[in-house]
Structure 1
């Protein structure tokens, strides 16, 4: 394949003061696991025994210890190597970590592990660390390793520019019977990125998640996020389930979840050096692991299924995001960059409300 270095897409809020420790969870900014479960109508207990794989580059030496702080603070069950809930392996399946580290990717790893924990506290976690961010020699073997380890739900919060070989050499790494999810990008329209563009992957778009106070509590609403990626693919054939008329090939995205950093997730990271404790993070790097965790709650895909087709069979199971736009706010056709009733490129079919739309 062509361009070979992938970029991760975690977007950290830098307007918040550092919070190295927290005496109480109420001090921690950003959305908490209870918020994610409420907003997307997720069961508190679901997905038990199912493994969500996180595929990232480089080593985060503090991944397990930081995860422990996050889960303990928000009263989630422990997920450790000792109790069999957490596993960290390299792209070859061994336990020796990659030889190098990178602060951006370390932050990405912390985000992904915390996001899956927030949406599916009972899921198991498999962290597969590629040697580096080279696509062909490292990240794709890491994806293959996640599959070899038996994971049925795989989150990929990284992108490479689209290239002709993706249709054959790239997409061959996504066998049937596994829910692969990838972030669509954080630069608006057109974000023509792979693996989100793959016709075998669920492309996760980004929204802004609003908590709206009412006389008897609060409710949730979502709008398209200005940074959320959308595109008409350069090369990927259009899946039969997609019926939008403006793109003759694959359109991204399929479905969406919160991605705007302004309404991002609270997370804990001590290795990257960016926060040295608690921070708030977004990007479609957040949308991807959230949706992968929701697939895990929904159940194991059939062995010959392409789970990215499931949402198209159940559009009513999604909150239709009908307002907002990504950047630029005007494009042709308009639904490539602006939310509207029904399918649109920035938010797809909308955001899950429960997990019925992630089943056959």
Structure 2
């Protein structure tokens, strides 16, 4: 199999290298003095550290957010994950810790999501949602337990048969090496399955790396594991001429596969553009005084567009794109209306100093409750709604919602870029690129 080549300018995951404790401590001291109102001007040793002090977001991430650490400059044949940490700041503009310390202040909770998408009274009945990610999260099960315990969700552990973690070959060992950025993605994915489908079992398949060939091996393992009804892929990369050669790994009839549309605004990405997946865009979700109790607009960072390589499928009828159009449906993704996630895998060991180092960017990972956005949120939500619906035997690619649009909330406002005002980047009545056909209004569209 040939490696999929992603252009050299696109974002991708690199393995993280621990930084020296001395430099972390110096930077942390600077931050602590700043937080207390003491003006301190210190020249740091390197340009990278100076950049860290400003907490400037990565070039590939929307303003006001920080990538998970799996959004670095591209390398050929690799993918990036689509999760974003919300940058919390004080009224004076100074940074505040990413870790809030409380599940009630970190973002939307399971009850919020189930209310917004009318999922009350459904549980999943033991159906399995699979998550495909790269590298290992050593704290995946303990962080999952903390999240579910905080919100009164039923226990989901290896011991009770609800949770299972395997490598890309489907084996319990050896697991891949750990990666702080991908661990944040894994925590997000597991928590969103838990929030949306609390009765679902969860299979976590960890690819050896973010190389597409490894991710596709993990994809096949996930989709062919008995009991799996849906698979979520919260990662991707720009399209190129080789993507169609990997589509067969996403073609698993009777298993619903969802893929995040991306976090860089207008522009199609793969595997969201594959005809065998449900491409999931993103919205900003807010409480409202209307009959629904919620309102949604297109999130400015959500990916969308017209594929340059994938053929249009019979169920898509939009006239402005001759090939496959992204997205199909959507759910919350805006970091400013983000969700609560619990993650403790980091390079600094936990505690107050660790929190400071994390917010400065001189340590990697997270240390508790964080508020998260990105289409990495929306993909596992939709995969879990498919599991709640229990219609996997009828799923063919992303076709099912197109014949059940009455069970979707139409999102008719917002934009994710410049495309001459076209529906490909501008939300409007019925179908549009950033939000697709809309968001779940119960399970009827899935």
Q: The TM-score by the shorter chain falls in which range? A: over 0.9
Displacement over 6 Å in runs of 4+ = none
Q: Does 1:208 align with 2:299?
A: no
The residue that corresponds to 1:17 in the other structure is 97
Q: Does 1:337 align with 2:425?
A: yes
The residue that corresponds to 1:251 in the other structure is 325
Q: Does 1:276 align with 2:367?
A: yes
Q: Does 1:6 align with 2:79?
A: yes
Q: Is the contact between residue 279 and residue 329 of structure 2 (CA under 8 Å) also seen in structure 1?
A: yes
The residue that corresponds to 1:320 in the other structure is 410
CA distance in 1, matches of 2:249, 2:189: 24
Give the TM-score taking structure 2 as reference length: 0.75
* Equivalence map 1:262-273=2 (5 Å): 262-272=336-346, 273=364
The residue that corresponds to 1:290 in the other structure is 381
Q: Does 1:79 align with 2:159?
A: no
Give the TM-score taking structure 1 as reference length: 0.93
Q: Which has the higher contact order (CA 8 A, sep 6+)?
A: 1
The residue that corresponds to 1:165 in the other structure is 242
SS in 2 for 1:72: helix
Supply the RMSD in Å over aligned alpha carbons: 1.7
Change (3 A) 1:354 1:155: same
Change (3 A) 1:18 1:66: same
**C-alpha deviation, 1:212, in angstroms:** 1.6
CA distance in 2, matches of 1:158, 1:335: 24
Q: Does 1:89 align with 2:149?
A: no
**C-alpha deviation, 1:58, in angstroms:** 0.3
* Equivalence map 1:132-147=2 (5 Å): 132-136=209-213, 138-147=214-223
**C-alpha deviation, 1:148, in angstroms:** 2.4
CA distance in 1, matches of 2:372, 2:186: 12
Q: Is the contact between residue 301 and residue 307 of structure 1 (CA under 8 Å) also seen in structure 2?
A: no
Moved more, 167-176 or 335-344: 167-176
* Unmatched runs of 5 consecutive residues or more in structure 2: 7-76, 89-95, 347-363
SS in 2 for 1:288: helix
* Unmatched runs of 5 consecutive residues or more in structure 1: none
Q: Is the contact between residue 176 and residue 206 of structure 2 (CA under 8 Å) also seen in structure 1?
A: no
CA distance in 1, matches of 2:258, 2:292: 30
Change (3 A) 1:69 1:313: same
**C-alpha deviation, 1:166, in angstroms:** 2.2
Q: Does 1:154 align with 2:231?
A: yes
The residue that corresponds to 2:107 in the other structure is 30
CA distance in 1, matches of 2:288, 2:331: 17
**C-alpha deviation, 1:332, in angstroms:** 3.3
Q: Is the contact between residue 250 and residue 277 of structure 2 (CA under 8 Å) also seen in structure 1?
A: no
The residue that corresponds to 1:184 in the other structure is 261
Deviation track 1:234-289 (CA, whole Å, cap 9, x = no partner) reads 10000101010110000000000000001011010000444300011010000000
The residue that corresponds to 2:129 in the other structure is 52
Task: Work out the number of aligned pairs and report it.
Answer: 348
Change (3 A) 1:154 1:39: same
Change (3 A) 1:81 1:189: same
Q: Is the contact between residue 130 and residue 204 of structure 2 (CA under 8 Å) also seen in structure 1?
A: yes
SS in 2 for 1:181: strand
Match of 1:195 among 264, 271, 274: 271
SS in 2 for 1:356: coil
* Equivalence map 1:231-242=2 (5 Å): 231-242=305-316
> Larger radius of gyration, structure 1 or 2?
2
